[in-house]
A = this chain, B = another copy of it.
Amino acid sequence: MSTKKRITEEALTLFAQKGYKGTSVKQIAEAVGIKDASLYKHFRSKQEIFDSIVALINEHISNLSDTLGIPQKENQNVEASIFYKKLDLDELKDISGKVFIFYLTDPYISKFWRIAHMEQYQNDQIYGMFRQIFMDDAITYQTDLFAEMMKAGILREGNARAVAISFYAPIFLLLTKYADHSDKKDDALEILDSQIEEFVRVYRKADHE
């Protein structure tokens, strides 16, 4: 791996542990195995290292949405997605658990989550990314999904957005609670399962039981 890339990766780890201000360029350089002065041949400033992290995470997340088959942009055509058409409640349960565990254990996502929380009030860019990905996009996606499922007669009729928030908010809370404790992810999964069971119990249409 190029030295430049290694600097970005090590900085990501350190910023996620101790925050931007809590990490010195010397520490980053040490982690890479060079002197701090050498680092300035690759980046012009500490801020520029941070910016490269933002770019790295953006890139990583773009790749993810391809892999997971989950649309990232809100203007994406929901009806066109195969994903939606065939998804029933059991699949919902299954895929939620997988996405949850993924978010909890993926090294980029979990570090991004930590940095976003620490730097949200100092850095508009990371704050915006966090809100878009983990709040706005996630809720929009679930809303569209549930609206489709209501149309398809899988889900009880209702306010799709409110239902989506009811479904997603517990996942968000669990991510907040366990983002830094992936060792306790079994506890988190147990709670998640009972949440989804409760959701299915309440929202599944009678004729699908």
Contacts and interface: CB of A to CB of B under 8 A. Distances in A.
Interface of A: 17-19, 21-22, 114, 117-118, 120-122, 131, 135, 158-159, 161-163, 165-166, 168-170, 172-173, 176-177, 180, 191, 194-195, 197-199, 201-203
A197 B166 CA distance: 11
Contact of A19 (B17, B18, B21, B172): B21
B169 A122 contact: no
Given A159-B198, A162-B198, 14 more contacts: A19-B118, A21-B22, A22-B122, A117-B120, A118-B120, A131-B177, A135-B176, A158-B198, A163-B198, A166-B166, A166-B195, A173-B173, A176-B176, A202-B202
Nearest to A169: B169
Contacts of A158: 198, 201-202
A81 to B, nearest CB: 25
Contacts of A195: 162, 165-166
29 contacts: A19-B19, A19-B21, A19-B121, A21-B22, A22-B122, A117-B117, A118-B118, A121-B180, A135-B176, A135-B177, A158-B198, A158-B201, A159-B194, A159-B197, A162-B194, A162-B198, A165-B170, A165-B191, A165-B195, A166-B166, A166-B169, A166-B170, A168-B173, A169-B172, A169-B173, A172-B172, A172-B173, A172-B176, A202-B202
Given A173-B135, A173-B172, A166 B198 contact: yes
